[in-house]
């Protein structure tokens, strides 16, 4: 059976040029006829593309090639041998988070997140959060800059900056990590099974406004945020076997 590839590329010059060269040597179909996606760009573009698929409820396997800055989620860019690389590619399932946010004005917003859902205060007023795990209040009043829930894939991103732990891919866990906790002041966060539901209720959200961010998308002035792993729509990332995402995240743990 023939593979049906669609090509998407970041608007940067480097990615557009690579797309032109790739069109000259391979066959591509429109996105809605494809069974596999080739993405050219950096991590930011990859996250955007994955988010686009989640929104359209159509999550195809995706093979990225790095023409951007970090490339943590990307394979090496090469013009040749794309078919053979796809034959040999190692498959990675990643379950995204789903955030249900309710704003102060009563609006409901649901957004997926591949890396993390984070809350941060918007003004000089410290955030006061009531943190619940599986409907049990575990911290009645977390006084802080904010807090986040990260997947293993996202554990080396914002979570690491906030001193959270690096989690191996596929470990079935998420990290709940406070940002500058003032009270309880030495709380370092928790590692939770991925079936766990985390809820953060903002105390006094008008005086103490808090913003919630699902990967790159922001909801201002939230009153409460529920975060859980969405098992229903796994993403499929393809990697050259010699250089998988798992290796890279493991490698991150031995950088110091």
Q: Which residues are annotated as a binding site?
A: 43-44, 115-116, 145, 153, 156-161
User: Residue 7 CB, nearest distance to its own copies (Å)?
Assistant: 29
Residue 246 designated active-site: no
Scanning 78-157, the segments in alpha helix (DSSP H) are 82-88
Query: Residue 190 CB, nearest distance to its own copies (Å)?
Result: 4
Least distance between its own copies and beta carbon 184 (Å): 3
Angle made by CA atoms 128, 204, 122, in degrees to the nearest 5: 65
* C-alpha closest to that of 70 among 238, 245, 212, 214: 245
**Which residues sit in the known binding site for NAD(+)?**
43-44, 115-116, 145, 153, 156-161
Site residues for its own copies, 207-246, by CB under 8 A, read 211, 213, 216-218
Bridge partners of 147, per DSSP, are: 119, 178
Q: How far apart are CA 127 and CA 150, in angstroms?
A: 19
Q: What distance in Å separates the CA atoms of residue 41 and residue 77, rounded to the nearest whole number?
A: 9
Candidate list 62, 144, 198, 235; residue touching its own copies; CB under 8 A? 144
Tokens (6 digits) for 19? 């797309």
124 contributes a contact to its own copies by CB under 8 A: yes
Interacting residue ranges for its own copies, rule: CB under 8 A? 120-124, 133, 138-139, 144-145, 157-158, 160-163, 165-168, 171-173, 179-182, 184-193, 211, 213, 216-218, 250, 253-256
């Amino acid at each position: 059976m023939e593979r049906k590839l669609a090509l998407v590329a970041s608007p940067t010059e480097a990615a557009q040029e690579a797309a032109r060269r790739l069109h000259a040597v391979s066959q591509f179909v429109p996105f809605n006829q494809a069974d596999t996606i080739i993405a050219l760009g950096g991590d930011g573009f990859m996250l955007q593309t994955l988010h686009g698929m989640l929104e359209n409820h159509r999550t195809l396997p995706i093979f990225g090639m790095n023409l951007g800055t970090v490339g943590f989620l990307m394979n090496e860019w090469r013009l040749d041998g794309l078919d053979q690389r796809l034959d040999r590619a190692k498959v990675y399932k990643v379950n995204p988070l789903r955030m249900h946010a309710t704003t102060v004005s009563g609006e409901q917003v649901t957004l997926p997140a591949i890396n993390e859902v984070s809350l941060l205060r918007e003004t000089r007023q410290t955030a006061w959060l009531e943190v619940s795990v599986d409907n049990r209040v575990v911290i009645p009043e977390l006084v802080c800059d904010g807090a986040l829930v990260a997947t293993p894939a996202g554990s080396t991103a914002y979570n690491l900056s906030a001193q959270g732990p690096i989690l191996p891919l596929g470990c079935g866990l998420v990290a709940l990590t406070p940002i500058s906790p003032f009270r309880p002041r030495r709380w370092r966060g928790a590692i939770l099974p991925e079936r766990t539901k985390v809820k953060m209720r903002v105390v006094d959200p008008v005086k103490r406004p808090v913003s919630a961010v699902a990967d790159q998308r922001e909801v201002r002035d939230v009153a409460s945020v529920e975060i859980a792993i969405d098992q229903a729509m796994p993403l499929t990332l393809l990697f050259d076997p010699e250089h998988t995402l798992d290796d890279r995240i493991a490698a991150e743990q031995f950088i110091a």
